[in-house]
Amino acid sequence: MAIPEEYKLKCDFTIPERYKHHVLTNRKEPNIPACNVKTIPGDMTERGCAFAGSRGVVGGPIGDCIQIIHSPSGCAWYQWGTRRNLSDIYAWAGPNTLCNDSQNRRRAVTSDLLEKDVVFGGMEKLEKTCLEAWRLIPGAAGILIYTTCTSGLIGDDCPSVARRVEREIGKPVFVIDSPGFCGVSQSTGHHHFNVQFYDQVVEYREKHPEACMKEEEKGPYDITIIGEFNMDWDLAYIKPLFEKLGCRVVAVFTGGERLGNLLKIPDAKLNVLHCQRSCTYISDLIKEGFEVPYVNASFFGIEQTAKALREVAEFFGSEEMMEKAEQIIEYELEVISPAIDFYRERLTGKKVGMYVGGPRVWHWQRVMKELGMKVVFGMCTFAHEDDYEKINARAEDGVFLVDNPNEFEIEECLERFKPDLFLTGLKEKYLCRKLGVPTVNSHSYEKGPYACFRGMVNFARDIYEGVYAPVWKFARDKDFI
């Protein structure tokens, strides 16, 4: 349904095509905005490129691989120390060896393509870069090579370089071919990483059967957690819940994970899928190729975490596990209830706006309800139709949704809806500060983890501290709020 006249944002009068991207939620007849399409020329989108999706989101959190970006140095600029997808892989320094084997936030390696490489080809340089990085970090489990716009356009044959380097170092070398230009947003890069990583895992397992889990090592309740990137140690709350349930977590795709465990993903009995935007692809492929089913889950909030535990227990059909799930839920609720009650009392009725990549806008609708807060608008950078269907199903009717917003739309929505809190990322927080609107970093968190029952307390605390920070009395523009 077209957006009602009174909801049309003034800033878009000069690009009326943007109105197709705006809707009001409706539970009975979901309203889906135009989404996952090219950004309109002239619209200053905040989207990332496909390479950002493959390296920055899905592949980046792998902890023990050297990640090489085959690009001019610019593409590698925003690649380390940014997203707080943590890892616990450490090693000691040795002669000619850097001191930390945890690759995912520590280092960005680029082949540093220059003009002459564009003219004469960059394959030789890529090979040298791989071998030099390997000499410096010999403890790494393998190498991931990412192509970018430049290497994609000049057509370097990266798989042949990977095969040569693999022979030389005796470890897996995978190529993820997802140049920035090849999709409408970072979402394309998520997809590419899933498919290409899966194909190379399958091929590697065929050539190296020792990389697969042996029959005698397999357990009846082996699970993997797919689409979980260990933001600010979310896994410290997720894994123990499933272990208490009686499951063994074989691997996480990809938060802080080791490549050796990722090669064993097809050997699990069940995949538990958290980020259903970026990682449904690989879950479908594993289901098709290895007959390992998956369940969709959300680890945010009380109700959704409880549902995830119950559904995993139900999948295994074990009475004991189902009882265990109820005991875990009861115990966790007892532990967190006093704190959650405290925050709910103070946050009830507060208005919240949300701007995240895609899935968190629907994951967090219920979390906000559990805190008594009212979502007044939502924005997604790269959501697809199924994300908007889920938002429609979970939100109150009449919540204003904006697909792929630009900064002017964000500013106008803040002015129009006057939220008490804006759940958003780093870039937007400065605009919000100027307008006197509190934010909570919704990509990398403030003081996480935010997942599961106890993470909910941290999330509620950060929201409370943001909303009630005394500074807003001084910083807030009286005409604005």
Residue 292 host element (H or E)? none
Cis peptide before 405 (omega within 30 of 0): no
346 is catalytic: no
List 21, 22, 83, 360, catalytic entry: 83
Give min distance, CB of 286 to ligand SF4, in A. 28
CB 204 within 8 A of CB 198: no
Sign of CA dihedral 401, 407, 413, 418: positive
Question: In degrees, to the nearest 5, what angle opens at C-alpha 442 toward C-alphas 237 and 388?
Answer: 100
Site residues for ligand SF4, window 52-71 (CB under 6 A)?
Answer: 71
The answer to the question of residue 49 lying near ligand SF4 (CB under 6 A) is yes
According to DSSP, residue 104 is labeled T
**Cβ-closest position to ligand SF4:** 180
344 is catalytic: no
C-beta of 148 vs 392, nearer to ligand SF4: 148
Backbone angles phi, psi at 238, to 5 degrees: -75, -50
- Binder to ligand SF4 among 24, 57, 58, 75 (CB under 6 A)? 75
Q: Which residues are CB-neighbours of 288 under 8 A, at least 6 positions away? A: none
49 is catalytic: yes
List 50, 52, 413, 432, catalytic entry: 52
The answer to the question of residue 149 lying near ligand SF4 (CB under 6 A) is yes
Binding characters for ligand SF4, 290-329, by CB under 6 A (x = yes):
----------------------------------------
The answer to the question of residue 189 lying near ligand SF4 (CB under 6 A) is no
Task: Please give the structure tokens belonging to residue 41.
Answer: 């020329």
Give min distance, CB of 200 to ligand SF4, in A. 20
Give pairs for 211-219: CB < 8 Å, separation 24+: 211/260, 211/263, 211/264, 212/263, 212/264, 212/266, 212/267, 213/250, 213/264, 213/267, 218/267, 219/248, 219/269
Residue 225 host element (H or E)? strand 222-228
C-beta of 153 vs 333, nearer to ligand SF4: 153
- Binder to ligand SF4 among 148, 276, 304, 406 (CB under 6 A)? 148
Size of the site for ligand SF4 (CB under 6 A): 8
- Binder to ligand SF4 among 180, 301, 353, 378 (CB under 6 A)? 180
Q: Which residue has the tokens 């493959």?
A: 54
Give min distance, CB of 51 to ligand SF4, in A. 4
- Binder to ligand SF4 among 172, 179, 256, 405 (CB under 6 A)? 179
Give min distance, CB of 188 to ligand SF4, in A. 11
Q: Is 114 helix (H, G, I), strand (E, B) or coil?
A: coil
Give min distance, CB of 50 to ligand SF4, in A. 7
C-beta of 49 vs 250, nearer to ligand SF4: 49
C-beta of 50 vs 371, nearer to ligand SF4: 50
C-beta of 55 vs 390, nearer to ligand SF4: 55
Cis peptide before 254 (omega within 30 of 0): yes
Give pairs for 281-287: CB < 8 Å, separation 24+: 281/190, 281/191, 281/194, 281/195, 281/198, 282/194, 282/195, 282/197, 282/198, 282/226, 282/253, 283/226, 283/227, 285/194, 285/195, 285/198, 286/198
190 is catalytic: yes
List 190, 192, 360, 454, catalytic entry: 190
List 35, 49, 141, 460, catalytic entry: 49
Q: Known catalytic residues?
A: 49, 52, 83, 190
Residues that bind ligand SF4 (CB under 6 A): 49, 51, 71, 75, 148-149, 179-180
